[in-house]
Chain A
């Protein structure tokens, strides 16, 4: 956040003085603190990151506890969930009842229950697809970056070819070939999204591989695999954490888009994108059908982006120029 610009080469000192500037009366932290403790301290001072973090925590809680929090089965079609002429029911809070807090959808199902269960799908897809993407991306990026040579050319050109495809279009094609289901969606998103991570990791590994500590390890007789996994990959942890967070936001969007196009998560499993698709024709007469799932997607993407940005600043203050 707004910390006075100081000489970035003197990170440790600037860290202490920064702490002094913002919180002069707090008991001074011990000088010798661990890396993650410092990250946490920086993160804590970053108000937008904390907002993101709290939101993420809430969304994760909603997803995990959907079973308990949701008032009803998300697939149950209620008799009183539709007006006699077949319209969705608006929030019953307006007439003081807690029956359908956010109203119902076009099939007379409870919108709140569907949104809570939808959070589960969105996060499951977002997190797992991203874990897959990060794994593939890190592996390809680091192997290409470290080993170099023909392998590098081969892997990185392949990555670039994959990047040349529009993500959504590629995902749509893959899903169309492989009947849609939650697991297929996860694999497909993972399979189209790893390229960005591969590029970033590749760049970092190339920068790291000729650094002194690597040369030193090599001089001590360490094998290539040992160096890659023990010396280089740990240096990439901040990058992976940042991408692991930011990527979730992107993947939630991809899932919502696929479901919106009808080729994502299939009914009766509720998903936010699918809910918008089913509710879109009601945008004039029953706007809550698109507003609430839309807000859910927006909040989730926003929260992960805030947290991801905050993490990037906190993990690597030098690169982000925030010190």
Chain B
């Protein structure tokens, strides 16, 4: 089977990769202790069963499945699980996921270099590993199901060094056979995979450097079987209307909010009225239209499919007059000049032009800087941008818990250079509250408590939440086995795919 992507994959190292293109590919090569079923239920994978959890939700004991082998033939033992998490925490690895595991006892000391190992990670016997947290965290199992917690063999990581991301060795259903940078990746079936019968396909090739419009043509000609990128907007209306495409398109809601991050430390956006004015000024319905209806209007930080979403909160309505009034109140009746950064991949520049036009109406003259994705991430992460459009970059849930839309992107811990807190926002009060919420074991109480929490963030107008995304997948009529609503962090589930003749 052949899959085509526009851009090359950055890495297959599970400690490093952090986007929707490399996660499904990583999952071909690696497994974690935990996984999700086709909904959002956590299931054991390399673990023999779900872990034993202590009554205070701080101690998690995992029993490993016996007899699972890495691609190099060695059996997976508890030591590997301990090593994999420690590796993510190790600053030398430079993992963007390190923050997820700082709740483990002694993790901060290890990161700061005050301890040689992480106190809270213990190997009890060759098939048992135990994680102890410094405070209760009801999302810990979700974090253990992330790609960052995939299990890697120490000897292979040390042998490959920096190159591990291009020469990955794991336990997964496929092995990476060949990777020609900028051209293709070839994965071959792992004949010794521990899941009886899986995977189905013998060989999966990911071709890169194929622009979406070309990929669509090749899909129509039967040269590829799956488009990695969404079908281009220019062709969307045509294929949706075409009955021949009916069973070849999947439209899945994405648990995501795409937003304009407002740098709350950069004047004049340090004024809450100015930030609120932006929220009233953006015509979100227009953005949905520009995306051919492949999105819905976002009214708050959490997407509607995320537990904790407040369906009684309506958000800021589109009202340029109100926006102008707020600007006047803030002392910017004459407007001002500013800039927004967007990635240079269609359709993002088009959307940014729409923002430019919306803001021009309330007197804000916006310059658009379109750059490659890594540059936008770098600039935004270092607080260089007054405004950043997250389209094509963020934020898609890592796990189904509202904390995932606070701690990594709006929390104080993420407000560091290179972090994903592009609003440069740190509210000590909310930070303390979020720590309390992580320890609340009663799920319903906890989810209800998040509603005022996120409302406070909206009142502070740290973002303009613009849309909630959708995945649109175009594939060959012969391709089957992609679950209709998989856990959204793994867009493609290659191991269950099969081709009909």
Residues of A within 8 A of B (CB): 75-77, 82-87, 106-108, 262, 266-268, 278, 281-286
User: In the bound complex, how far is the Cα of B447 from the Cα of A209, in angstroms?
Assistant: 89
At the interface, is chain B mostly helix, strand, loop or mixed?
Answer: helix
Residues 139-191 (chain B) with a chain A CB within 8 angstroms: none
Q: In the complex, what distance in Å separates the CA atom of A99 from the CA atom of B414?
A: 50
Q: Kindly identify which residue among B290, B346, B357 contacts A86, using a CB–CB cutoff of 8 Å.
A: B290
The 9 lowest CB-CB distance pairs between A and B, nearest first, are A86-B292, A282-B234, A281-B234, A85-B237, A87-B237, A86-B289, A267-B353, A285-B234, A281-B232
B240 → chain A, closest Cβ, in Å?
A: 7
Interface SS of A by simple majority: loop
**Interface set, chain B 277-309, CB cutoff 8 A to A:** 286, 289-293
Given that A284-B234, A285-B238 are contacting pairs, would A278 and B292 also be in contact in the complex, using a CB cutoff of 8 Å? no
Besides A86-B290, A108-B290, A281-B213, 5 other A-B contacts (C-beta < 8 A): A83-B237, A86-B291, A106-B347, A107-B350, A281-B232
Please state if A76 and B357 are interface contacts (CB–CB under 8 Å): yes
Q: A86-B290, A262-B370 are in contact. Are A107 and B353 (CB under 8 A)?
A: yes
The smallest beta-carbon distance between B221 and chain A, in angstroms, is 14
B235 at interface (Cβ–Cβ under 8 A)? Answer: yes
Out of A85, A107, A262, A286, name the residue touching B354 (CB < 8 Å): A107
Question: In the complex, what distance in Å separates the CA atom of A106 from the CA atom of B344?
Answer: 16
Q: How distant is B297 from chain A, measured CB to nearest CB, in Å?
A: 14
How long is the Cα–Cα vector from A281 to B233 in the complex, in angstroms? 8
* Residues of chain B lying within 8 A (CB to CB) of residue A82: 289-290
Interface bracket on B = 20 to 34
Chain B residues with CB under 8 Å of A262's CB are: 344, 349, 370
- Confirm or deny: B367 has a beta carbon within 8 angstroms of a beta carbon on chain A: yes
Nearest residue (CB) in B for A277 is B349
Q: How far is the CA of A267 from the CA of B360 in the complex (A)?
A: 12
Cα A285 to Cα B237 with chains together (Å) = 9
Partner of A266, one of B236, B240, B368: B368
Q: How far is the CA of A284 from the CA of B357 in the complex (A)?
A: 27
Contacts of B328 in A (CB 8 A): none
A-B contact pairs, 22 of them (CB 8 A): A76-B357, A77-B357, A82-B290, A84-B289, A85-B236, A85-B237, A85-B240, A86-B237, A86-B289, A86-B290, A86-B291, A106-B347, A107-B354, A107-B357, A266-B368, A267-B356, A268-B360, A278-B350, A281-B213, A283-B234, A285-B234, A286-B234
Contact A75 B360 (CB under 8 A): yes
Provide the B376-412 mask, 1 if CB < 8 A to any CB of A, else 0: 0000000000000000000000000000000000000
B119-152 CB mask vs A (1 if < 8 Å, else 0) is 0000000000000000000000000000000000
A279 to chain B, nearest CB (A): 9
Which of A76, A108, A267 has the most B CB atoms < 10 Å from its CB? Answer: A267
> Which interface residue of A75, A77, A282, A286 has the most chain B CB atoms within 10 A?
A77
Q: Please tell me which one of the listed residues B286, B292, B370 contacts residue A87 in the complex, with CB atoms under 8 A apart.
A: B292
CA of A18 to CA of B376, assembled, Å: 66
Chain A residues with CB under 8 A of B240? 85
Q: Contacts A266-B368, A278-B349 hold; do A107 and B290 have CB atoms under 8 A apart?
A: yes
A106 to B290, CA, bound (A): 8
Chain A residues with CB below 8 A from B236, complex form: 85-86
